[in-house]
Amino acid sequence: MGPDSSAGRNLLSVSERLGEKTNESHLRETLEEQNREINQLVASLLERQQLLERLSKIQSSISHRKPLQEVLDAITLGARELLGDEVVGLRLQDPKDPSWALVVSSQGLSPELADAIRRAPMEEGAGGKAMLEDRLVVIDDYATNTGGIAALRERSLQAAMAAPVHENGRAIGSLVVATYNEGRTYTESEKEALLALAEHCSLAITDAKTVEAMRDAERAKDMFLAMVSHELKTPLTVVMGTLKTLERHHDSLSSEARAEMLTAAIDRCGELHRLIDRLLQGASAELADAESDTFLPQLVEDALRGFEHASRLNIGEIPELSLSAYAASVHRILGILVENALAHSTTASPICVGADLEERDVILWVENDGEIPFEDPDELFQPFQRGPDATSSGVGLGLYIARRIAVGMSGHLTAHMEEDKVRFCLRFPLRKRGLPAMRPDPSLI
């Protein structure tokens, strides 16, 4: 074999060895790439497992009706642990001013910074943009971005990501994660995780508000039933008082007095009948009646008919004035005030009723001996308030109902002390009408 063939074999051998090395290198690179992909897949699966575990716990908290703040705090803590950013905040639209947003839960904020950004204009920051545009928002140049919240930019926040939070399909807030680390980028899986956490914020808020609405409805039903019982009780009290007076003093009363008392009882029964009709018609929420022309002394007299059995009731001077007024509403308010005075004063003390004119208002007042058991007289008008000296069997709704009726007739009901007396004042606008300024002839009524 000659020299040329030997050289050829050597060259072939070198080529084969080079090829083998190339194949080995390629195989190594392939294996390394596959290892990287496997590691990424494992990491992704671990992230998803952690996310699912976190979401499962949050869902369980929502299902078990845990307090809303507790659920929201768990979500912001979960966002910090899953995504690894130093700062997490949940912003919700300010119910008092929708152009502002409030931070209702946060992680990683110093007390000073939390206070500085607690309330900010809606449009500021990644969270504001996520709310307004109803989409996931990423700001990777936060420190220099003019749209960022000033207090965070001043502290060199580098990047932020925000996902919208919804209530019944409407964006009302945002879940935000942020970092001070330069070069931070958010992966697709991190974006998906934040969107999932924000969705659970939406579920928690919607569910909590649904539950609260149900509780409000239950409270409203209880309040309505209590108000109905009170409204039915007031005219019944007057009717029963009148009938008891007739029963005990029938023989000593003149025929005219008996007839007058029976008429008053019948009138109150008619009021009771009309009230029941209104309740059955679903009109109980409309507390004010229609305006009509009336004569002020006659209005007061009619309102107090049926309380004649209360011998300590004194009616003072009533300005002789024709006006337009919600007569039925005035009757109901004065009836409640007199009944309240009877229940909260001694049997020997007088109950005075009067009226004054002040600028363009009429003021009807009821006064009795006693004192207001609260520092703030307005507490008297809260539902279910009963003073310690009450002698009636009511549930403490009379004054609350009376004030609601007063508001319905564009008036206002207040209470204050005058020396050792409690005075309730019903103030309503004076609207004069074309009635003669004289007492109507009783035969024409």
pLDDT in tens, 298-346: 999 988 887 766 678 889 989 998 999 888 889 889 988 998 888 888 8
pLDDT attached to residue 206: 83
- More confident call, 102 vs 29: 102
Question: For residues 138 and 126, is the Cβ–Cβ distance under 8 A?
Answer: yes
pLDDT attached to residue 437: 40
Check whether 440 has a pLDDT greater than 60: no
Q: How far apart are CA 429 and CA 364, in angstroms?
A: 11
Cα 397 to its chain centre, rounded Å, is 21
pLDDT attached to residue 232: 72
Mean pLDDT of 98-111: 92
Of the listed ranges 191-200, 289-298, 406-415, the one predicted with least confidence? 289-298
Q: How far apart are CA 239 and CA 267, in angstroms?
A: 9
Mean pLDDT of 420-440: 73
Mean pLDDT of 95-121: 91
pLDDT attached to residue 262: 86
In our burial notation (b when 16+ CB lie closer than 10 A, e otherwise), range 86-123 reads: ebbbbbbbeeeeeebbbbbbbbbbeeebeebbeebebe
- More confident call, 43 vs 216: 216
Mean pLDDT of 8-14: 57
Q: How far apart are CA 94 and CA 101, in angstroms?
A: 5
Mean pLDDT of 364-390: 80
What is residue 388's three-state secondary structure?
Answer: coil
Task: Please enumerate, as own/partner, the contacts of 20-27 that have beta carbons within 8 Å and a separation of 24 or more.
Answer: none
Q: How far apart are CA 18 and CA 193, in angstroms?
A: 48
Using a pLDDT cut of 70, give the percent of the chain over it.
Answer: 72
- More confident call, 387 vs 125: 125
pLDDT attached to residue 284: 42
pLDDT category, 83, cuts 50, 70, 90? confident
Instruction: Please say whether the dihedral angle defined by the alpha carbons of residues 36, 41, 45 and 47, taken in this order, is positive or negative.
Output: positive
pLDDT category, 55, cuts 50, 70, 90? low
Q: What residues pair up with 162 in beta bridges, in sequence order? A: 137, 176
Question: For residues 324 and 291, is the Cβ–Cβ distance under 8 A?
Answer: yes
Q: pTM higher than 0.95, yes or no?
A: no
Question: For residues 370 and 352, is the Cβ–Cβ distance under 8 A?
Answer: no
pLDDT attached to residue 404: 85
pLDDT category, 107, cuts 50, 70, 90? very high
Structure-token pair, residue 424: 């309730």
pLDDT attached to residue 19: 62
Nearest to 234 by CA among 353, 364, 397: 397
Average pLDDT, the chain: 80
Q: How far apart are CA 322 and CA 335, in angstroms?
A: 21
- More confident call, 280 vs 313: 313
Instruction: Give the chain's largest Cα–Cα span.
Output: 160
pLDDT attached to residue 346: 81
Angle between helix axes 398-408 and 188-249 (nearest 10 degrees) is 100
Give the DSSP letter of residue 176.
E
Structure-token pair, residue 105: 């839960």
Check whether 353 has a pLDDT greater than 70: yes
Mean pLDDT of 388-392: 52
- The residue type of 340 is N
pLDDT attached to residue 394: 47
Check whether 3 has a pLDDT greater than 70: no
Structure-token pair, residue 19: 């090829």
User: How does pLDDT run across 136-169, given as a tens digit for each residue?
Assistant: 999 999 988 988 899 999 999 999 999 999 988 8
Mean pLDDT of 388-403: 65
